[in-house]
Chain A
Amino acid sequence: QQQVKQSPQSLIVQKGGISIINCAYENTAFDYFPWYQQFPGKGPALLIAIRPDVSEKKEGRFTISFNKSAKQFSLHIMDSQPGDSATYFCAASITGNTPLVFGKGTRLSVIA
């Protein structure tokens, strides 16, 4: 059973546009939701994370929106740039209890 479902698998966005990646989860005990960014040939790196006590968290051009009732969270990349082209993974865990469970990833391509 896939605990975190991520969509779309791939995404092409024009430079300056908004990239949106969505994730849904089943386990209502999850209380930590990070997003990781991975460039080719590198390991994933933490981009931004949120806990369910807030509905939105913004860091620069990156925003996480969280909908607890729908069990969904999403990553918005504003003013997308070619340098944002990477694979993005959402993840979830239960604090102090379980390791991170990752979605299957979204390959983002930002074209000029």
Chain B
Amino acid sequence: QVQLQESGPELLKSSETLSLICTVSGYSISRDHYWGWIRLPPGKGMEWIGSIYHSGSTYYNPSLKSRVTMSVDTSSNHFSLKLNSVTAAETAMYYCARMGGDYGASSWYFDLWGRGTLVTVSS
């Protein structure tokens, strides 16, 4: 059974760097999938943050690209998110997910998700 589990500090101060890890169990992240981060601010819709392949190839949301870094550790079977200079508006549930799809990146979807971790940014 494939499971994804987010972990990391749950309380940050404005201007600090958010750092999260997604640990994957039951499935090797070196297989043919991209892995992504998505967040859900309270009262708003989901926002895609970025996606990474085990080779290190990435797609980032252009609106966040200047502040986002994703990395992958195949030996530990996890991937990571760093988002610097966070603000209170970035308080949200942060989810990691596996991406699926048979043809073209534009057709991809998120076929397995973690339960999410609530990150609160205080001003």
- A and B associate in one complex: no
